Structure 1
Amino acid sequence: MSGDEIFWTASIDELSRGYIYDNDNDKFICLICYKDYENGVIFKRGEELLEAKKAIVHHITDMHGSMFNYLLNMGKKHTGLSDHQRELMSLFEKSLSDKEIEKKLDISPSTIRNHRFKLREKEKQAKIFLTIMSLLNEDKGKSNEKELIHIHKEATMVDERYAITKEEKEKVLATYFKHGLDGPITSFPSKEKRKIIILQEIVKRFDKNRGYSEKEVNEILKSIYSDFVTIRRYMIEYGFMDRNKDGSEYWIK
């Protein structure tokens, strides 16, 4: 299961705490960066020696802060929240009173109450929607080729281009990776959906837990396709990869 699948299939409780337990491999996996901590291994944190479960809890706090802030800042395309709602929720989380929020944002008490009401209604709607989707998908034993693939969390443009079924994905990969998924591609597609599918596969060649020089990125992409500059540009444009301002370091988002 890919990192994005792990994130999007996590339960509400798992998203709240920031990690899942992978029963098959007996390890805990961070839902933000997918770093894993194997059970039975002792991990060092400063002068402390920690078991896997405690180590991942500290990892999330040390490296990512709070899950509340991480999820809240994922953006409207994932949360459905406006910038104003996000700002208010951030203040609610800090347990500020309505009077303190009123002074801080220069808004009326009735506006704050109205936002609280709307957020509670949104919560009720979300519960009903999740229940409906759970009932719709409860037949887990049936293979569904029409099931849509997961979108990576850092996607810069979430629209109909990402409406890709698993069946479509398999066909595109078989068409372009004629020598297997570890080999090169025969050409780079012009159609948006196909680009996304190919880029999702290419990103697997990179380690998410390290940085790369531009030369290292180019070498990896050269082994996939001759026009590596175009692929590198699309990797950044579609939110799979990022780089610092001078281009001296690249990393998987």
Structure 2
Amino acid sequence: MENAEMFWNASQDELKQGYIEDENQYICLLCGTAVQKGIVYPEDGVLYEAKRYMRIHIETAHSSVFEYLIDLDKKLTGLTDHQNRLLRLFYQGKNDAEVQEETGIGSASTIRNHRFVLKEKERQAKLFLAMMELLKDKDQHAPAFVPLHHKARMVDDRYNVTKDEETAILKRYFRNDSMDALKTFPPKEKQRLIILQQLTNHFDNDRKYEEKEINTILAAVYDDHVLLRRYLIEYGFLDRKPDGSQYWLKK
């Protein structure tokens, strides 16, 4: 789950643009796709340098960074359903009167009040981020937590897992260091989370799998592949077509 760690460690500017840059490549924070520097990429008959091509990738694969972020679980964004809907309409460029007409909420002045509340939330978030950054220099006892999968479902205390706990869980439930053979599927939610997260390493980010392929991959890890498949979907690591004909890693 390296992409989850990159996502949560990204700066505000990196998160806004949707990708990070290192010496050799640009990496999409939303799905992990990497674009190598120094290579020209074709798209619809036009050649693009790597940085521009990464922006095109985000537009074509994710619509926009805003669309991707606002579709995340509300426990990750901190938005209510009502605030989520308002932000979507504001992003579409609608004015207060248009938003009021579409939502049927109060009057145009009511919408302006909602805008004020959202700006207040933004101010609070900036101060909180500044305090947390300053805290990093002083808090020597803060544990390193396992990064949260940003397509996670049912975000709650089960995700309160440190890196040390992760190492112990993996060692306890896998037969060897290669993590390719599961002894048993754990009973506790936190333990299941770590096991399922590890299992995602058996799949490619940009590939769609038939159900038979998914079953074969999981059966090589554990006898009850149906159980593993069900929990991978339940926890938001895998997605599938309604008829179950194709599966893929959620990005």
Q: For 1:147, which of 126, 144, 147 is the aligned residue?
A: 144
Matched residue, 2:207: 210
Q: How big is each residue's C-alpha offset from its partner over 1:199-251, in whole Å with a ceiling of 9 and x where there is no partner? A: 11111110010011111111111111111111111111111101111111111
Residue 145 (structure 1) shift: 8.1
Once the 2 structures are TM-superposed, how far is the Cα of residue 185 of structure 1 from its aligned partner? Answer: 1.4
- For 2:76, the aligned partner's letter is H
1:119 paired to 2:118: yes
CA-CA distance at 1:83 after TM superposition: 1.8
Residue 58 of structure 2 corresponds to which residue in structure 1? Answer: 60
For residues 113 and 199 of structure 1, the distance between their equivalents in structure 2, rounded to whole angstroms, comes to: 44
Distance (Å, rounded) in 2 between the aligned partners of 1:175 and 1:209: 30
Cα distance change of structure 1 residues 47 and 145 upon mapping to structure 2, 3 Å threshold: same
| Aligned partner (choices 240, 243, 249) of residue 243 of structure 1 | 240
Preserved CA contact (<8 Å) 2:73 2:153:
no
Answering whether residue 133 of structure 2 is matched by residue 134 of structure 1, we say: yes
State the 1:42 CA deviation: 1.2
Take 1:98 and 1:64, find their aligned partners in 2: how far apart are those partners? 27
Structure number with higher relative contact order (C-alpha < 8 Å, ≥ 6 residues apart): 2
TM-score by length of 2: 0.93
Unaligned runs of 5+ in 1: none
Aligned match of 1:99 in 82, 92, 97?
97
- Which segment drifts farther, 154-163 or 60-69? 60-69
Mapping 1:127-206, distance limit 5 Å: 127-138=126-137, 146-206=143-203
Q: Give deviations 1:53-82, integer Å, cap 9, x for gaps.
A: 011011111221121122122131111112
Shift of 1:181: 3.0
User: Does structure 1 residue 230 correspond to structure 2 residue 230?
Assistant: no
Give the deviation of 1:110 after TM superposition: 2.8
Q: Is the 8 A contact 2:6 2:29 kept in 1?
A: yes
**Alpha-carbon shift at residue 183 of structure 1 (Å):** 2.6
> In the alignment, which residue of structure 2 is the partner of 1:9?
9
> Partner of 2:76: helix, strand, or coil?
helix
- Using the alignment, how far apart are the partners of 2:137 and 2:34 within structure 1? 29
Identity, % of aligned pairs? 46
Code of the residue aligned with 1:161 in structure 2: it is R
Hey, what does 1:85 align to over in structure 2? Answer: 83
1:213, 1:250 within 8 Å by CA — same for their partners in 2? yes
**Cα distance in 1 for residues equivalent to 2:142 and 2:134:** 18
Deviation of 1:117 after TM superposition, in Å, equals: 1.2
For 2:180 and 2:74, how far apart are their aligned partners in 1?
A: 37
Paired positions, count: 249
The RMSD of aligned alpha carbons is 1.8
Deviates more, 1:38-47 or 1:1-10: 1-10
C-alpha separation in 2, matches of 1:97 and 1:188: 52
Contact map agreement 2:145 2:163 (CA 8 A) in 1: yes
